[in-house]
Homo-oligomer: A and B are copies of this chain.
């Protein structure tokens, strides 16, 4: 199911970067969830291009239109179709792409897999595809809010080209993150990081980084052993994002340098609640949430589009120099923050419904 994600709460995204638009069908959404176009627009605005000087200058308003599935501001339990038109499509800017494979883009692999590609932009491989995910994630967020009113999903940029943001995932606030164009919660080195990005931009280059995500107010019991462990579905969600190269939960790769006596999270009681003193597990044990904060990190490579000459080949097998391109994101990280949040909400909403189905102790009808 290449373009569908989720088992009970599921999205199917569609659309190319240069065509009549992109969108999503959300299926499996419970009925009677309040949902308006504004709920979706709010999240789309966070991923929109042209937000600041460090993002691409492509001008897209990215206006969400709900074509089905709601009635009087409530979900009907039927498929919710959301459409966002493409506006600033300039296919002529891509004319060269008909014949040339851009390095570390998907031009070559789409061509060998499908024998055809929409070369007027990145097609499905464009980051524009994530609009459908963000729109679907907004719906998932409404579902989660209905079931777990105190759950909150918070992401931020925690690393850019080797520079790191210091912050405590247990307390970091949305305000501190959204207060700057980078979505960087550490004021102490924000200027330094922005300067780094601007330098890359000036040099026609780009930089990679890491996004961290924490979910606070997590319920226990989400995640289904053995293949649909919560961290497995999150890993898939994150590695399905354009430009992502790695995922780690809790201790992550750091676990490779630890001993069991350091890594094990001792249980203790907090009132009636079972808690752990440390959280190297990242909120998941045996694939199931334990009620501690869910915590993971996602690595993103530097954007592949550069305003520099690069060596490459043509579709007919000649080695050529790819000319520099105009506008591009020198650092995709700030725009990826709402996308990471959206995928997290989609995974959690799906598992929330799956858990609801299994728990017979609550009679629901």
Q: Tell me the complex Cα distance, A124–B77, Å.
A: 10
A207 within 8 A of B: yes
Q: A13-32 interface mask toward B, CB cutoff 8 Å, 1 = contact, 0 = none?
A: 11110011111010110111
Chain B binder among A44-52, A166-174, A176-184, A262-270:
A262-270
Most B CB contacts (10 A, CB to CB) among A69, A161, A235 go to A235
Query: For A69, what are the chain B residues with a Cβ–Cβ distance below 8 Å?
Result: 14, 16
Distance from A333 Cβ to chain B, minimum over Cβ atoms (Å): 9
A326 within 8 A of B: no
Q: Tell me the complex Cα distance, A79–B77, Å.
A: 23
The answer to whether residues A267 and B103 also contact, given A16-B78, A116-B74, A220-B112 and a CB cut-off of 8 A, is yes
A-B contacts, 18 listed (Cβ < 8 Å): A2-B227, A4-B27, A12-B79, A20-B67, A30-B359, A75-B116, A104-B260, A104-B285, A109-B289, A112-B288, A207-B258, A208-B260, A227-B240, A239-B249, A245-B282, A255-B301, A267-B313, A274-B313
Q: A78-109 interface mask toward B, CB cutoff 8 Å, 1 = contact, 0 = none?
A: 11110100000000000000000101111011
Q: Which of A205-252 contact B (CB under 8 A)?
A: 205-210, 219-221, 223-229, 231-240, 242, 245-252
A113 within 8 A of B: yes
Q: A142-183 interface mask toward B, CB cutoff 8 Å, 1 = contact, 0 = none?
A: 010011000000000001111000000000000000000000
- Please tell me which one of the listed residues B13, B30, B76, B357 contacts residue A226 in the complex, with CB atoms under 8 A apart: B13
Q: Which of A28-85 contact B (CB under 8 A)?
A: 28, 30-33, 65-69, 71, 74-81, 83
- Please tell me which one of the listed residues B248, B290, B302 contacts residue A246 in the complex, with CB atoms under 8 A apart: B248
Distance from A285 Cβ to chain B, minimum over Cβ atoms (Å): 5
Nearest CB in chain B to that of A82: its residue: B14
Cβ–Cβ contact B104 & A280, under 8 A: yes
A310 within 8 A of B: yes
The answer to whether residues A104 and B269 also contact, given A113-B221, A247-B247 and a CB cut-off of 8 A, is no
Supplied contacts A8-B8, A16-B68, A20-B65, 15 more A-B pairs, CB within 8 Å: A20-B66, A25-B25, A106-B286, A106-B288, A108-B274, A109-B220, A109-B288, A146-B360, A207-B258, A247-B248, A253-B253, A260-B301, A263-B301, A264-B304, A361-B364
Query: For A8, what are the chain B residues with a Cβ–Cβ distance below 8 Å?
Result: 8, 354, 357
Q: Which of A113-151 contact B (CB under 8 A)?
A: 113-118, 123-125, 129, 143, 146-147
Q: Tell me the complex Cα distance, A81–B103, Å.
A: 29
- Please tell me which one of the listed residues B71, B229, B239, B289 contacts residue A116 in the complex, with CB atoms under 8 A apart: B71
Most B CB contacts (10 A, CB to CB) among A25, A251, A256 go to A256
Nearest CB in chain B to that of A308: its residue: B261
A188 within 8 A of B: no
Query: For A67, what are the chain B residues with a Cβ–Cβ distance below 8 Å?
Result: 14-15, 19-21, 23, 83
Q: A285-327 interface mask toward B, CB cutoff 8 Å, 1 = contact, 0 = none?
A: 1111111000001011111111010111100011100000000
Query: For A245, what are the chain B residues with a Cβ–Cβ distance below 8 Å?
Result: 231, 248-253, 255, 282
A335 within 8 A of B: no
Q: Tell me the complex Cα distance, A249–B240, Å.
A: 12
Nearest CB in chain B to that of A74: its residue: B116
Most B CB contacts (10 A, CB to CB) among A114, A207, A284 go to A114
Query: For A290, what are the chain B residues with a Cβ–Cβ distance below 8 Å?
Result: 108-109, 112
